[in-house]
Structure 1
């Protein structure tokens, strides 16, 4: 990416990012038109490719931008004060839903980006996500009270299991052709966590105890 993109005002940067997010969110990567992105951003296609050398570079920039925004909005002051593993996941889930619901383009783009399989950018996204997962876990779950877990239980493995369950839920919705509803998924996810709490926590911690704000 050309560093001159960062010399633009924040408003102009956001206009380009939002235009790209809308077009990529509504279309498969292959069919997403950079001409349309440029039109919606109010710039020429030549200028778009002056800032971003190619379509893939633009896509990955928007993806990274979304990830940073999600981290910033979800990991607020209260998030970092929560010490219960499952309460932390629930709080993060609610935060993500609120953010996604504010902008339909974010929702559409996130769904295509996180769960794409055959797109030209899929492999690059998987590499990025795999590299980030353990680092982000250590960053955000470093304050959890591990004494609540039964002996031999590794919290990171529980985290991955729950993520795999979420991925499976999304896959089933996509395969069935049903309309995805993020609130319904959050409700399901919370019920999985309640069940998992009974399986992995010591008896005295199996009942949900919401931490005070």
Structure 2
């Protein structure tokens, strides 16, 4: 990547980032032309290639940017400093709604990229995902009080179950072809309420 990208005004950087998210979220990696991204960003194709040497570089930059933005906003909303798991998850929902306001197509891009099968980017995306996922999980879990849960609960299995449920839900949304963030917020709100009713120690 050309460092001149970071010398651009923040508004111009965000326009390019959002254009990339928009185009990549609506097509496969292979069928997402750089010319279309440049047009959506309001710049020439040659200028886009001046900032990013090729499509793969831009794609992986956008993928890593998703993790950086998410961790930044989750930290801002106090998601990693809560002793209560479900309080942290509810704050996370609020953080993600702010992300949607700033980067409307980022969530769709993230889901699309996670299931992207193109060998040019698939391995790098999966390696990056697991690195960031473990980092976020470790930052959060170190604060959780195990006494909040029902006695005898297999906590690692609970985390795994919630992860599997979330991944299955996202896969279903991808198969529909249209990610409705408001519907996702409602559905995950119901999931969190259900998990609380099952796993929380009754006072």
TM-score of the pair, normalised by structure 2: 0.82
Contact 1:75 1:92 in 2 (8 A): no
Q: CA deviation at 1:152?
A: 6.3
Provide, for residues 119-142 of structure 1, a one-character-per-residue CA deviation record: whole Å limited to 9, x for no partner.
Answer: 442332111111222222122332
Provide, for residues 133-159 of structure 1, a one-character-per-residue CA deviation record: whole Å limited to 9, x for no partner.
Answer: 222212233222123346665644422
Contact 1:25 1:112 in 2 (8 A): yes
Q: CA RMSD in A?
A: 2.7
Give the match for residue 193 of structure 1. Answer: 195
The yes-or-no answer on 1:206 pairing with 2:190 is no
Q: CA deviation at 1:83?
A: 0.8
Give the match for residue 49 of structure 1. Answer: 49
Q: Which has the larger radius of gyration?
A: 1
How many residue pairs get matched? Answer: 200
Aligned partners of 1:65 and 1:170: how far apart in 2?
A: 20
Say which is worse superposed, 175-184 or 189-198, in terms of deviation. 175-184
Structure 1 gaps of 5+ residues are 199-204, 208-213
List aligned pairs for 1:142-181, cutoff 5 A. 142-149=142-149, 153=153, 155-175=155-175, 180=180, 181=183
Aligned partners of 1:50 and 1:178: how far apart in 2?
A: 32
TM-score of the pair, normalised by structure 1: 0.78
Contact 2:80 2:143 in 1 (8 A): yes
Say which is worse superposed, 77-86 or 48-57, in terms of deviation. 77-86
SS in 2 for 1:30: coil
Aligned partners of 2:179 and 2:47: how far apart in 1?
A: 37
Give the match for residue 82 of structure 1. Answer: 82
Give the match for residue 129 of structure 1. Answer: 129
Structure 2 gaps of 5+ residues are none
Provide, for residues 35-85 of structure 1, a one-character-per-residue CA deviation record: whole Å limited to 9, x for no partner.
Answer: 011122232222212221210110111121122112222222543442112
Say which is worse superposed, 144-153 or 119-128, in terms of deviation. 144-153
SS in 2 for 1:32: coil
